[in-house]
Amino acid sequence: MDSPFSEYLQARRAEVEAALTAALPTPPECPAVVADAMRYSVTAGGKRLRPILCLAAAEAVGGDRSLALPAACAIELIHTYSLIHDDLPAMDNDTMRRGRPTLHVVVGEAMAILAGDGLLTEAFALLTRAPETNDPAVVVRTLRVAGVVAAAAGATGMVGGQALDLAGSRMPSGVRSGAAPLDADGLRVMHSKKTGALIRAAAVAGAIIGGASDAAVERVDAAAGDFGLAFQIVDDILDVEGDSAGLGKTPGKDAAAGKPTYPALFGLDAARTMAAECLQRAERALGGAGLAESRLMDIGRWIVTRSN
Amino acid sequence: MDSPFSEYLQARRAEVEAALTAALPTPPECPAVVADAMRYSVTAGGKRLRPILCLAAAEAVGGDRSLALPAACAIELIHTYSLIHDDLPAMDNDTMRRGRPTLHVVVGEAMAILAGDGLLTEAFALLTRAPETNDPAVVVRTLRVAGVVAAAAGATGMVGGQALDLAGSRMPSGVRSGAAPLDADGLRVMHSKKTGALIRAAAVAGAIIGGASDAAVERVDAAAGDFGLAFQIVDDILDVEGDSAGLGKTPGKDAAAGKPTYPALFGLDAARTMAAECLQRAERALGGAGLAESRLMDIGRWIVTRSN
């Protein structure tokens, strides 16, 4: 597949990966033991969906993509930290991620916890770096974006979603929440926080930095909300259908762990239909701001048709 | 002791505790399971040294103390998250803190990790909240303070200090770093990151929000660096001399764990002299900006004379 969109993805991914590497702290200011741990996880690859979505949103609204690069990288650092902490023995106890041993397997639990803490904090160092211009509007936007990302990543967003996920299933540490397994509504709320909030923040951050009107930011937010839901539904489908090599992790793990999934609750066909409907709603939302013909929609289609 | 300074401390502590409680996310936006865990640790008491230092710095430079309250609370949330993560079984494996069971003992490791993550993120939500004024200078200051705190809390600061601490002693998880025990220089660097960086950031944040000149901010930073060193030396002395009831934790624990301490390296008398010298240097630094007669110096004296 050598279509223009796959070239676009490749180019943005290369930009993001170069900027991520440059953004990580290094010795001597940063002790090597934690710098190496952070780098191990950040350079482990991955789709780079969130930062690319952020860049594409900035472009779609007519902004300068390069101004969104720090926020795009910050959001990927937050995503990476969340994977490190989710993989810990006390959480999901995952030993493989993106085809490599997870960080705690390589450096021990303590350093993995710290590397995650370091990445989360570094993300906010990036988000609050003073812009090169003194233009008050740009400074206000920078602060606004940092606030949007903080709200999405915190206990009312991503962290809260992981807490609901843990509470809805048996905790590996042997602590039982006593809560009933999640139903369809509970599953939607959990995922809207756990994965949806940061995906939305990525798109919203790009749109704000790109100078979008409040109305356009709202449209982008709504579309990204549907992208996030579609992303999760497809993740669940791939967990049923995928093979270990393509996924870089063990398929069937969620089902085996008794975690609720979209295919388990609705069946595979209905889950596929739901993902397609997400895409249609997103297209309508973006269309209302004249953004349906943009890389944003291409990213939505990629989310639904991806195989890993 | 009913001197005016003890009344000042009590009044500031009450302000900070009310603002901390108000700043924490609540259900239904935040799942109760993680909201409760965050609140357990934030309301566990403690000296509130960092937020009071932040408020005192804002006042000392002639600023409005109430404008510094969000940053003061954010820094206390960061301090609280660092204690939660440091207490984890994979780290220091502490079961008592401030006279109560540590969070992981109460809610399990997974939820304790998440509560820490949530508090760290919430801190940046507070730091990046849009100021009530549109004054560009205030917006620039807000962004600057958030950046200062991020740098102090991250892998080049507090997180890096904890990594050095772990690497310099045997890791509880059984992973050995292979590094030699810390010598006097190594101990100084480790503490300057692990506790010093955030104490400095607290004072610097207050000074910036209070509208101090760059020269005055530098003086406050230097003094707070000495406060931080004195704080650590006194902590080590109290670990040798203190009693469990006053400290709210087990005394002698650091020495038993083979962790390097100031009394162990230099002897108790020399350690006491070093703390007194810190105070003198801080007074000279503050004097250079006309700030020696301020609550800041009172806080320095409190740090050295405290018994818990």
pLDDT at A251 over 90: no
Across the range B250-265, mean pLDDT stands at 74
Across the range A193-215, mean pLDDT stands at 98
DSSP code of B131?
P
- The interface predicted TM-score of the complex, written ipTM, equals 0.94
Is there a contact between B203 and B238 (Cβ–Cβ < 8 Å)? no
Choose from A181-195, A222-236, B240-254 the range with maximum mean pLDDT.
Answer: A222-236
User: A6-10, A250-254, B73-77: lowest mean pLDDT where?
Assistant: A250-254
**Residues of chain A contacting B147 with CB distance shorter than 8 Å:** 125, 128-130
Taking only the tens place, the pLDDT of each residue in B285-308 is: 999 999 999 999 999 999 999 988
How many CB pairs lie under 8 A apart between chains A and B? 198
Q: Which alpha helices (DSSP H) does A128-251 contain, by range? A: 136-153, 158-168, 184-191, 197-209, 214-241, 244-247
User: Residue A259: what pLDDT?
Assistant: 74
**Residues of chain B contacting A25 with CB distance shorter than 8 Å:** 154-156
Segments making up each domain of chain B, as ranges: 4-305
Query: How far apart are the CA of A30 and the nearest CA of chain B, in angstroms?
Result: 4
User: Residue B117: what pLDDT?
Assistant: 98
User: Residue B1: what pLDDT?
Assistant: 44
Determine whether the interchain pair A155/B121 forms a contact, defined as Cβ–Cβ distance below 8 Å: yes
User: A22-26, A249-253, B153-157, B213-217: lowest mean pLDDT where?
Assistant: A249-253
Helices and strands (H and E) in chain A: how many: 16, 2
CA distances from A115 to A36, A37, A46, B92, B104 (A): 9, 6, 18, 16, 19
Determine whether the interchain pair A111/B160 forms a contact, defined as Cβ–Cβ distance below 8 Å: no
Average pLDDT taken over every residue of chain A: 91
User: Residue A170: what pLDDT?
Assistant: 46
pLDDT at B43 over 70: yes
Taking only the tens place, the pLDDT of each residue in B164-190 is: 999 886 444 444 445 567 788 999 999
CA A255-A86-A260 angle, 5° bins:
25
User: Which chain B residue's Cα is nearest to A135?
Assistant: B136
| Residue B265, Cβ density class (10 Å: 0-12 exposed, 13-18 middle, ≥19 buried) | middle
Taking only the tens place, the pLDDT of each residue in A104-115 is: 999 999 999 999
Determine whether the interchain pair B120/A120 forms a contact, defined as Cβ–Cβ distance below 8 Å: yes
User: Which chain B residue's Cα is nearest to A167?
Assistant: B33
SS3 for A174?
coil
**Residues of chain A contacting B144 with CB distance shorter than 8 Å:** 130
Determine whether the interchain pair A113/B151 forms a contact, defined as Cβ–Cβ distance below 8 Å: no
Confidence of residue B86 (pLDDT cuts 50, 70, 90): very high
Of residues B208, B159, B164, B160, the one with CA closest to residue B182:
B164
Strand partners, A100: A97
User: Residue A68: what pLDDT?
Assistant: 97
Decide yes or no: CATH 1.10.4080.10 for domain B4-305: no
User: Residue A172: what pLDDT?
Assistant: 41
| Residue B284, Cβ density class (10 Å: 0-12 exposed, 13-18 middle, ≥19 buried) | middle
Across the range A43-62, mean pLDDT stands at 97
Calpha distance B118→B124 (Å, rounded):
10
Calculate the dihedral angle through the C-alpha atoms of B91, B96, B97, B101, rounding to the nearest 10 degrees: 110
pLDDT at B90 over 80: yes
pLDDT at A124 over 70: yes
Of residues B153, B249, B143, the one with CA closest to residue B197:
B153
The reply to whether B34 touches chain A by the CB within 8 Å rule is: yes
Which residue's entry shows tokens 């200062």?
A: B148
Chain B segment 127-156 residues within 8 A of A by beta carbon are 127-130, 136, 139-140, 142-144, 146-147, 150-151, 153-156
Calpha distance A119→A280 (Å, rounded):
35
High-pLDDT (> 70) share of chain A, %:
90
Calpha distance A77→A72 (Å, rounded):
9
Choose from B72-86, B129-143, B162-176 the range with maximum mean pLDDT.
Answer: B72-86
The reply to whether B303 touches chain A by the CB within 8 Å rule is: no
User: Residue A3: what pLDDT?
Assistant: 67
SS3 for A28?
coil
- HEC readout, B199-235: HHHHHHHHHHHCCCCHHHHHHHHHHHHHHHHHHHHHH
User: Residue A277: what pLDDT?
Assistant: 98
Confidence of residue B260 (pLDDT cuts 50, 70, 90): confident
Taking only the tens place, the pLDDT of each residue in A31-44 is: 999 999 999 999 99
User: Residue B244: what pLDDT?
Assistant: 53
Average pLDDT taken over every residue of chain B: 91
